[in-house]
Amino acid sequence: MSKKYEGLARDIVRLVGGKENVTQAYHCQTRLRFTLADEGKADEDAIKAHDGVVGVIHGAGQFQVCIGPHVADVFEEVEKLVDTGEKDAEPPAEKKGAFDRVIDFVAGTFQPIIPALSGAGMVKAVMALLTTFGLISTDSQTYQMLNIFADGVFYFLPILLAFTEAQKLKCNPILAAGVAAMMLHPNWSAFVSAAEPVNFFEVIPFTLASYGSSVIPIILIVFVQSFMEKWLNKHIPASVNLVFVPMLTFLVMGTLAFSVLGPIGYIVGEWLSVFFTFLAENAAWVPAVLIGGLCPVMVMFGIHNGIAPLGPIQMADLGYDSIWGPGNIVSNMAQASAGLVVALRSKKDRKVAMPGAITAFMGITEPILYGTNLPKKYPLVAAMIGGACGGLYAGLTQTHRFATGSGGLPAVLLYIGDGTMQHLINIIIAMLIAAGISAALTFVLYSHFEKDEEHATEKEAPESVPAAPAALALVSGTLVAPIAGEVLPMESCSDPIFAGKGMGDGCVVVPADGTLVSPCDGTVSLVADTGHAVGLVSDQGAEILIHIGIDTVNLEGKPFTAHVAPGDRVSAGQLLMDVDLEQVKAAGLSTETMVIVTNTPDFSAVTTTASGTVAAGDELLDLTV
């Protein structure tokens, strides 16, 4: 299924410095996350400019390439090109500061278990709905079994964390999980319930503490275990390693877990519980306002990976999350609403903003953040203000979520709990406040900023140039070849995004010369700053994108000489641009020129009528309404 992303994956790996520069690679919901031996080898500008890449950010000691919701398909191809398993070398320590290392450690430990926490959280939400509407009773076997389905993940959380932390620290995850299992053994629980002193070999006292659903103790234990295990592997001969390393690990770490590290972690957890309780009772509005307003900035710098786990930690201690969840969901709704306003008001930005806004409403904000809100700036400002206002309401009403999950619309169910629907009502109100304020501010700011752009364009364009019509009735017709060369089907394009027709149907022309002409009578809607793309709106209502070459944006406009500007009226066959094809080839780039009807869904058929070699002006595409 991911074959269409082979080219994109290959280019990304090449541009981050090649597989030899990649020491670790994985992905989250929208990003490829690389740990690079030398980030200086990565060509960040080229990656950003690549079709199919939304943006590039640095955070948590990682080089992060934002792809979008189909990132898993891209990673499937990336994984084939990099092999981190055989690499012993770590990135140089000086490449990461202490703060980045902490964020990287926390993110690497918690992110892999998010799906399990989210799934269990949604089961709890279903339970709350069923009991609220009287469909099951709390003393029924069905309720008890559903509770087991949901609580299993949370009770055995130390085992899951032990496994993922061990993977992050490159020690044996099975041994780490085994140590965590000791702490959850029923016999130990019986000792704790009996409240009678436990002395190991009648000498070492074991502190009576329950470790079910805990977080801090196992993090400390596995951290120490990683050093001890590496020391054992270094000093025990390979011939007996398999027997003695696991045995000594269990004996030493089991003793430390119950006597020193576990109790320390338990005490730290109790302190955190006191802190969370104080915050919830005395300053509940602070985290919701800060996260509601600053979450986009946290995402840009990767800081959210270190703060988000505070939610599950608080939930393990108190049974609810007021630290991360409320602020995160109102921030996401604010960003989605700001992007939606841009999509509804701007025809030019609609193709990026509309799907980005829809994705953000589902809790994934990177596409709208990097595709629309951040580049335009004013939607981001509006979203941050709206998110802070929504967070303020959620904080003042002490709104809690009772299970861990996403930050999208479906997550409102996580706010049903504590025997009341009030938290659900409050979070919905907070989301409406965030969305409403963000939308209103974006609407006002759009009129100001985009109006300034329009005035600037009007001043630059000749007074005699008529503006493009606001809307055109669709009419069947033809488009002529904008450049001479060999015609190929769109599916054969070297770029997977174009080949997959994600931007629309059309065809590819491998040019024989560098003269680009208009394929229709119409209006120029776009001339890329780097010259590699021209957009037109035909008099028949077709929206056409001519993309010259692949990755030619990296040439910064050097091979391109434009003869038209946005707003110009053109006739079929009129000169649009001269292209130095030899300069493109010398840069090692493909000259494939894509002719795309970007509003393909508006037509019943877009058919390539030419084959073989065509001259500029020959019939190329047939559009049927």
With contact defined as beta carbons under 8 Å apart, do 295 and 311 qualify?
no
d(CA 384, CA 387): 5
Burial class (CB in 10 A: 0-12, 13-18, 19+), 231: exposed
Residue 467 lies in a domain: no
Give 295's contacts (C-beta < 8 A, 6+ positions apart). 304, 327, 328, 331, 332, 387
SS3 category, 135? coil
**Where does 95-219 show beta strands of DSSP type E?**
198-200, 204-206
Claim to verify: residue 232 and residue 161 sit in the same structural domain? yes
Domain that holds residue 384: 285-455
With contact defined as beta carbons under 8 Å apart, do 161 and 180 qualify?
yes
Give 102's contacts (C-beta < 8 A, 6+ positions apart). 306
Q: What is the pLDDT of residue 30?
A: 65
Residue 102 lies in a domain: no
Q: Whole-model pTM?
A: 0.52
Claim to verify: residue 421 and residue 495 sit in the same structural domain? no
Claim to verify: residue 296 and residue 418 sit in the same structural domain? yes
Claim to verify: residue 323 and residue 407 sit in the same structural domain? yes
Q: What is the pLDDT of residue 498?
A: 66
Please pick, among 28, 66, 171, 493, the residue that the annotation labels catalytic.
28
- Domain with 72 in it: what CATH number? 3.30.1360.60
Burial class (CB in 10 A: 0-12, 13-18, 19+), 471: exposed
What confidence tier does 96 reach under pLDDT thresholds 50, 70, 90?
low
Claim to verify: residue 259 and residue 309 sit in the same structural domain? no
Q: Which of 96, 116, 145 is the last residue of a domain?
A: 96
Q: Which of 244, 275, 306 is the last residue of a domain?
A: 275
Sheet with 55-59, side-by-side order of all strands? 22-27, 31-36, 62-66, 55-59
Q: 535-577 pLDDT, tens per residue?
A: 898 888 888 989 898 878 668 788 999 999 888 889 888 999 9
Among residues 200, 198, 246, 206, which one has the least CA distance to residue 225? 246
The pLDDT of residue 89 is above 70: no
Calculate the CA 21 to chain-centre distance. 23
Residue 280 lies in a domain: no
Q: Which of 275, 308, 339 is the last residue of a domain?
A: 275
Q: What is the pLDDT of residue 458?
A: 43
- Domain with 513 in it: what CATH number? 2.70.70.10
Q: What is the mean pLDDT of residues 388-404?
A: 90
| Token duo for residue 138 | 């709390």
Let me know if 171 is a catalytic residue.
Answer: no
The pLDDT of residue 472 is above 70: no
Residue with the two structure tokens 């394009």: 493
Claim to verify: residue 243 and residue 313 sit in the same structural domain? no
What confidence tier does 88 reach under pLDDT thresholds 50, 70, 90?
very low
Claim to verify: residue 537 and residue 595 sit in the same structural domain? yes
Q: What is the mean pLDDT of residues 10-34?
A: 84
What confidence tier does 363 reach under pLDDT thresholds 50, 70, 90?
confident
d(CA 258, CA 177): 15
What confidence tier does 495 reach under pLDDT thresholds 50, 70, 90?
low
With contact defined as beta carbons under 8 Å apart, do 75 and 26 qualify?
yes
CA Rg, the chain, in Å? Answer: 29
Q: What is the mean pLDDT of residues 420-438?
A: 94
Residue 468 lies in a domain: no
Q: What is the mean pLDDT of residues 15-38?
A: 83
d(CA 545, CA 533): 7
Q: 261-312 pLDDT, tens per residue?
A: 999 988 887 787 777 777 767 787 888 899 999 888 887 766 676 677 788 7
Number of Cβ within 10 Å of residue 611's Cβ equals 11
Claim to verify: residue 267 and residue 289 sit in the same structural domain? no
Claim to verify: residue 501 and residue 526 sit in the same structural domain? yes
Claim to verify: residue 323 and residue 433 sit in the same structural domain? yes
The pLDDT of residue 77 is above 80: yes
Q: What is the pLDDT of residue 160?
A: 93
Q: What is the mean pLDDT of residues 605-624?
A: 90
Sheet with 533-538, side-by-side order of all strands? 569-570, 522-527, 533-538, 543-548, 593-597, 505-511, 485-489, 612-614
Residue 443 lies in a domain: yes
- DSSP per residue over 257-284, as a string? IIIIIHHHHHHHHHHHHHHHHHHHHH-T
DSSP structure class, residue 204: E
Residue 111 lies in a domain: no
DSSP structure class, residue 559: T
Q: What is the pLDDT of residue 57?
A: 75
Residue 516 lies in a domain: yes
Claim to verify: residue 322 and residue 421 sit in the same structural domain? yes
Residue 179 lies in a domain: yes
Quote the mean pLDDT of the chain.
Answer: 83
Give 502's contacts (C-beta < 8 A, 6+ positions apart). none
Claim to verify: residue 207 and residue 305 sit in the same structural domain? no
Instruction: Please give the tally of structural domains in the chain.
Output: 4
